């Protein structure tokens, strides 16, 4: 399966996107764009699956679009991804990459539309769902963001970034610290210990009066 990818300046990470049927190979993590938590580097969590090979012509066109994006030729990259999206409507990858470009340019309404199109093509796409949740949150659509994260988690329960971003939504925007605590704990279960998230967990446990878990015993 080809990986359709783009380095995103807004994410400071490379998000790897599968072209076929929206099912991704293990993807580099997505972190919040503008929250205080953005320095965290979540672990990968998307699943892989067999799919039909991508046509050579599409693969080359995709590589050209990526090259334009990497070179900073944003308008050219957008044009190429839009052409790919129109020519290959079965693939979610071009729309996800369009959404990431639009986020980087601050065009959140356009990013929202692109991620929604990607999810129409591939409802289980964890990267598109997680990114749409971030955009909805930045647009002040907190209820919609919560619903998107919940759908993403239901579709891809091992995708750690969705738990992290849902926890951020609960903590900073919806004033529901208990729910935030639950999401951060799930994130740590999936992604492993992280110094910054551990600090948030300690603060949240104090705030809600939750007990501090016993330290794990090392195997002898």
- The whole-number pLDDT of residue 153 equals 98
Element (DSSP H or E) covering residue 89: none
The owner of tokens 């807004």 is 10
In a domain? residue 183: no
The percentage of residues in the chain with a pLDDT greater than 70, rounded to a whole number, is 73
In a domain? residue 195: no
Q: Stretch 173-179: mean pLDDT, rounded?
A: 96
Q: Is the dihedral of CA 37, 39, 41, 47 positive or negative?
A: positive
- The whole-number pLDDT of residue 212 equals 78
Structure tokens, 8: 């995103």
In a domain? residue 214: no
- The whole-number pLDDT of residue 52 equals 62
pLDDT band at 51 (very low <50, low <70, confident <90, very high): low
In a domain? residue 81: yes
Which of 17-21, 54-58, 67-71, 180-184 comes out lowest in average pLDDT?
17-21
In a domain? residue 123: yes
Looking up residue 70, the CATH number of its domain turns out to be 1.25.40.10
Query: Which residues lie below 8 Å from residue 90, measured CB to CB, with a gap of 6+?
Result: 20, 21, 121
In a domain? residue 86: yes
How far apart (Å, rounded) are the C-alpha atoms in residues 133 and 178? 20
For the beta carbon of residue 216, count every other beta carbon within 10 angstroms: 7
Number of domains in the chain: 1
How far apart (Å, rounded) are the C-alpha atoms in residues 85 and 220? 55
In a domain? residue 218: no
Q: Is the dihedral of CA 12, 40, 102, 18 positive or negative?
A: positive
Each residue of 19-35: pLDDT tens digit? 323 323 223 333 333 33
Each residue of 126-148: pLDDT tens digit? 999 999 999 999 999 999 999 99
186 versus 39: which is more confidently predicted?
Answer: 186
In a domain? residue 205: no
Q: Stretch 200-214: mean pLDDT, rounded?
A: 87
- Own/partner long-range contacts of 96-99 (Cβ < 8 Å, ≥24 apart): 96/15, 96/17, 96/125, 96/127, 96/128, 96/131, 97/4, 97/5, 97/6, 97/17, 97/65, 97/66, 97/69, 99/128, 99/131, 99/132, 99/135
Domain of residue 138 covers: 3-26+37-47+54-159
Element (DSSP H or E) covering residue 50: none
User: Collapsing DSSP states into helix, strand and coil, what is residue 149?
Assistant: helix
- The whole-number pLDDT of residue 118 equals 96
pLDDT higher than 60, residue 61: yes
CA dihedral (119, 127, 98, 132) in degrees, to 10, reads: 70
71 versus 219: which is more confidently predicted?
Answer: 71
Query: Which residues lie below 8 Å from residue 97, measured CB to CB, with a gap of 6+?
Result: 4, 5, 6, 17, 65, 66, 69, 77, 81
């Amino acid at each position: 399966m080809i990986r359709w990818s783009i380095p995103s300046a807004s994410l400071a990470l490379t998000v790897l996107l599968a072209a076929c049927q929206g099912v991704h190979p293990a993807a580099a993590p997505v972190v919040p764009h503008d929250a205080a938590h953005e320095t965290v580097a979540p672990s990968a969590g998307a699943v892989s699956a067999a799919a039909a090979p991508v046509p050579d012509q599409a693969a080359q066109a995709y590589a050209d679009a990526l090259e334009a994006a990497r070179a900073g030729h944003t308008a050219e990259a957008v044009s190429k991804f839009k052409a790919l999206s129109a020519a290959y409507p079965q693939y979610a990858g071009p729309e996800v990459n369009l959404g990431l470009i639009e986020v980087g340019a601050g065009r959140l309404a356009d990013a929202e539309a692109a991620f929604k199109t990607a999810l129409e093509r591939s409802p289980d796409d964890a990267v598109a769902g997680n990114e749409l949740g971030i955009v909805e949150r930045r647009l002040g659509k907190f209820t919609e963001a919560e619903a998107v994260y919940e759908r993403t988690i239901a579709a891809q329960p091992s995708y750690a970034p969705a738990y992290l971003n849902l926890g951020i939504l609960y903590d900073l925007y919806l004033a529901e610290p208990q729910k935030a605590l639950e999401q951060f704990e799930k994130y740590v279960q999936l992604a492993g210990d992280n110094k910054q998230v551990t600090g948030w967990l300690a603060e949240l446990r104090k705030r809600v009066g939750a007990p501090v878990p016993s330290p794990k015993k090392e195997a002898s």
